[in-house]
């Protein structure tokens, strides 16, 4: 067996920390080049249509509860065609006939509302056709979505990405917004490296409350391909099989169970009440070619303690002495078979997932510096967004009966360290939830932080168990001096692009989504000092950011790749 594999993984799987790129080895991810920047987005709407937008946006919580029974899909929506102008560093990109809609669910009862955009035909902005604009009005840090998405991508989970923009509509300043790529069929093609002409028919959006992954609630998930809106057989069959499952092995035949367990561990750490455990919504399921479903979490404004006590007290009618110490078993709103079988029957895999997440991201030593980095970037824009206009109105406030989001710069500062249970600070949540998790599941806090420090240096998470990452030896009676990896059951690569180097100093690459050995003869004159990307090798070994299987440095104000020898 190939043991203790040292992975320097450069299949272009980076996190937003490292200027995000796509899972694709050939195309950059949507917002990678925007790290450290806040571009401008301008939307031009016919004035009569703009007034219609204002009228339709008048929604309060009473309307959402009484008239719609908390089903936001019943709310009236606004839709029109607009012109979109993207401005960055003095350059402009103009898009015509862009579909523009009101966006969000419960958030539509806030004073600042979100929007969804769909570019026309083959138009793309950062390789993205579907765009979400969100103000995240209830999160005074303006950061929880960003931190959550970065962590999920860092943990190698399929996740949308986000960046910051300043939004103008008809030359009116709407303030600081998130620009996110929407999880639609085109997003699936990019994320999973599928042919551009492939029809995506098995992506389902479970956006309605109570999608508990059983047959009764299969109609809470909707086919994301409008042309296949009535094609529900795949989700019906999947939920039926999940409902009948009695073991992890049964579930593995239907859903990516390791991924599901990791997502549940994330919900526990984040204190999420807006995904599967509590309200069973805000997730998508995608059936891959191998017949197994992936779970994709979306919408992260109500994470990391934000609004948790309000939901816990007023929606769930529960009490909590300390909101940061809510136990996993207390969180489900309703019982679900997959949660019982995958999590409650035996928590071994759940605890293993927690261990990995704590070491590789969810700890104060890792998140706090990143929080400060983002805070430095957005503070001027936050201040601008909360400063009233000359007429006394506030930027972007168009829902005059919605829940108010007006706050001060002091509120922004306090939102990171507040001990107030009703508005727990972002850093406070991470620190206390980290400590509570360690205490509850028997992890030594100091040992976890030591492992985390080592991980940040090496980029390699050392599990006590075989993680089956990388090529595993396959017994074969093949010996070929021209291709050393055939003896291990793998072809040699067509290219010389090194993906990682194992503990025997053998170089590996990837071909046709399979591991392959780097041809020693063919690539003799192309010996690489660092992973082959668009970025140069560093002249030093100072790791600025360590990912799972990748290390980055900074040189001359730009990113560089840490050498294999470091």
Q: How confident is the model at residue 14 (pLDDT cuts 50, 70, 90)?
A: very low
Least confident window among 44-58, 319-333, 468-482: 468-482
Residue 489, SS3?
A: coil
CB 143 within 8 A of CB 125: no
Q: Report residue 380 as tokens.
A: 């001027």
Q: What percent of the chain has pLDDT over 70?
A: 85
Residue pLDDT, tens place only, 151-164: 998 898 988 889 99
Burial level of 408, CB count in 10 A (0-12/13-18/19+)? exposed
Q: What does the pLDDT read at residue 482?
A: 63
Cβ-Cβ contacts under 8 Å for 525 (sequence gap 6 or more):
none
Neighbours of 391 (CB within 10 A): 5
Residue 549: pLDDT over 60: no
Q: What does the pLDDT read at residue 519?
A: 83
Least confident window among 67-81, 116-130, 272-286, 400-414: 67-81
Q: How confident is the model at residue 31 (pLDDT cuts 50, 70, 90)?
A: confident
Q: What does the pLDDT read at residue 561?
A: 80
Over residues 546-563, the mean pLDDT reads 71
Residue 265: pLDDT over 90: yes
Distances (CA, A) of 241 to 169, 214, 263: 47, 8, 20
Q: How confident is the model at residue 456 (pLDDT cuts 50, 70, 90)?
A: confident
Residue pLDDT, tens place only, 172-184: 999 999 999 889 9
Nearest partner of 497 among 489, 506, 507, judged by Cα: 507
Residue 528: pLDDT over 90: no
Q: What does the pLDDT read at residue 77?
A: 85
Distances (CA, A) of 300 to 101, 159, 282: 20, 11, 9
Round to whole Å and give the CA distance between 388 and 408.
11
Over residues 339-345, the mean pLDDT reads 94
CB 123 within 8 A of CB 106: no
Cβ-Cβ contacts under 8 Å for 309 (sequence gap 6 or more):
320, 323, 421, 422, 424
Residue 548: pLDDT over 80: no
Residue 10: pLDDT over 80: no
CB 305 within 8 A of CB 429: yes
Strand partners for 134 = 178
| Alpha-helical runs (H) found in 140-273 | 144-154, 185-191, 233-244, 248-252, 257-270
Residue 179, SS3?
A: strand
Mean pLDDT rounded to a whole number for the chain: 84
From first CA to last CA, the distance across the chain in angstroms is: 25
| Of 509 and 429, the one with more pLDDT | 429
Q: What does the pLDDT read at residue 93?
A: 94
Q: What does the pLDDT read at residue 25?
A: 27
Q: What does the pLDDT read at residue 383?
A: 96
Residue pLDDT, tens place only, 223-241: 999 999 999 999 999 999 9
Q: Report residue 503 as tokens.
A: 């503990």
Q: What does the pLDDT read at residue 427?
A: 96
Over residues 59-77, the mean pLDDT reads 73
Residue 469: pLDDT over 70: no
Q: How confident is the model at residue 72 (pLDDT cuts 50, 70, 90)?
A: low
Residue 55: pLDDT over 80: yes
Round to whole Å and give the CA distance between 142 and 126.
22
Residue 303, SS3?
A: coil
Round to whole Å and give the CA distance between 566 and 564.
6
Q: What percent of the chain has pLDDT over 90?
A: 54
Residue pLDDT, tens place only, 273-331: 889 999 899 999 999 999 999 999 999 988 998 888 888 887 777 888 899 999 999 99
Q: Which helix (H) or strand (E) holds 410?
A: helix 409-414
What angle is formed at CA 354 by the lines to CA 353 and CA 356, rounded to 5 degrees? Answer: 65
**Which residue, chain included where needed, has tokens 């994470």?**
303
Output the DSSP codes for 73-84: GGS---EEEEEE
CB 50 within 8 A of CB 170: yes
Residue 189: pLDDT over 60: yes
Nearest partner of 207 among 149, 303, 132, 276, judged by Cα: 276
Q: What does the pLDDT read at residue 327?
A: 93
Over residues 380-405, the mean pLDDT reads 92
Strand partners for 180 = 132, 162
Over residues 483-507, the mean pLDDT reads 78
Distances (CA, A) of 138 to 148, 314, 403, 565: 15, 16, 9, 47
Q: What does the pLDDT read at residue 532?
A: 67
Q: State the helix-helix crossing angle for 445-458 and 426-440, rounded to 10 degrees.
A: 110
Over residues 188-197, the mean pLDDT reads 89
Strands in 500-501's sheet, in edge-to-edge order, are: 500-501, 507-511, 514-517
| Of 434 and 558, the one with more pLDDT | 434
Round to whole Å and give the CA distance between 42 and 83.
8
């Amino acid at each position: 067996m190939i043991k203790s594999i040292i992975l320097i993984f450069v299949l272009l799987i980076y996190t937003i920390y490292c200027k995000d790129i796509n899972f694709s080895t050939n195309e950059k991810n949507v917002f990678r080049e925007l790290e450290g920047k806040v571009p401008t987005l301008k939307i031009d709407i016919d004035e009569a249509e703009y007034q219609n937008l204002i009228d339709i946006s008048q929604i309060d919580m009473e309307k959402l509860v009484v008239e719609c029974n908390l089903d936001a899909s019943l709310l009236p929506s606004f839709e029109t065609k607009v012109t979109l102008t993207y401005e960055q560093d003095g350059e402009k990109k103009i898009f015509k006939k862009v579909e523009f809609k009101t966006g969000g669910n419960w958030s539509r009862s806030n004073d600042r509302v979100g929007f969804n955009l769909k570019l026309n035909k083959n138009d793309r902005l950062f390789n993205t056709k579907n765009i979400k604009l969100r103000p995240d009005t209830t999160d005074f840090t303006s950061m929880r979505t960003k931190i959550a998405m970065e962590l999920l991508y860092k943990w190698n989970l399929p996740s949308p990405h986000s960046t910051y923009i300043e939004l103008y509509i008809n030359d009116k300043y709407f303030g600081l917004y998130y620009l996110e790529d929407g999880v639609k069929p085109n997003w699936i093609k990019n994320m999973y490296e599928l042919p551009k002409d492939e029809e995506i028919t098995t992506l389902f959006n479970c956006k309605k409350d109570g999608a508990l992954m059983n047959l009764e609630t299969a109609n809470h998930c909707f086919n994301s391909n409008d042309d296949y809106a009535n094609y529900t057989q795949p989700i019906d069959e999947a939920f039926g099989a999940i409902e009948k499952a009695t073991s992890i092995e049964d579930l593995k035949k239907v859903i990516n169970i390791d991924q599901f367990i990791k997502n549940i561990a994330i919900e526990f750490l984040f204190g999420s009440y807006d995904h599967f455990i509590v309200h069973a919504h805000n997730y998508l399921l995608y059936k891959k070619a191998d017949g197994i479903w992936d779970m994709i979490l979306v919408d992260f404004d109500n994470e990391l303690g934000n609004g948790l006590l309000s939901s816990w007290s007023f929606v769930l009618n529960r009490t909590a002495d300390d909101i940061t110490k809510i136990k996993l078993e207390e969180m489900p709103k309703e019982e679900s078979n997959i949660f019982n079988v995958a999590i409650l029957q035996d928590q071994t895999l759940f605890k293993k997932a927690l261990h990995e997440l704590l070491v590789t991201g969810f700890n104060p030593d890792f998140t706090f510096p990143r929080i400060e980095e983002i805070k430095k970037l957005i503070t001027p824009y936050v201040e601008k967004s909360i400063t009233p206009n000359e007429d006394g109105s506030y930027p972007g406030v168009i829902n005059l009966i919605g829940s108010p989001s007006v706050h001060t710069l002091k509120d922004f500062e306090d939102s990171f360290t507040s001990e107030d249970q009703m508005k727990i600070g972002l850093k406070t949540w991470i620190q206390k939830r980290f400590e509570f998790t360690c205490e509850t599941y028997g992890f030594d806090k100091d040992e976890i932080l030591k492992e985390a420090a080592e991980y940040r240096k090496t980029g390699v998470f050392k599990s006590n168990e075989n993680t089956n990452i990388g090529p595993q030896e396959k017994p074969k009676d093949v010996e070929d001096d021209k291709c050393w990896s055939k003896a291990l059951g793998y072809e040699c690569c067509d290219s010389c692009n090194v993906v990682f180097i194992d503990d025997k100093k053998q170089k590996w690459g990837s071909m046709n989504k399979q591991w392959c050995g780097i041809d020693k003869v063919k690539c003799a004159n192309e010996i690489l000092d660092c992973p082959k990307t668009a970025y140069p090798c560093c002249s030093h070994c100072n790791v600025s950011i360590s990912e799972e299987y990748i290390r980055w440095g900074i040189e001359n104000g730009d990113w560089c790749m840490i050498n294999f020898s470091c």
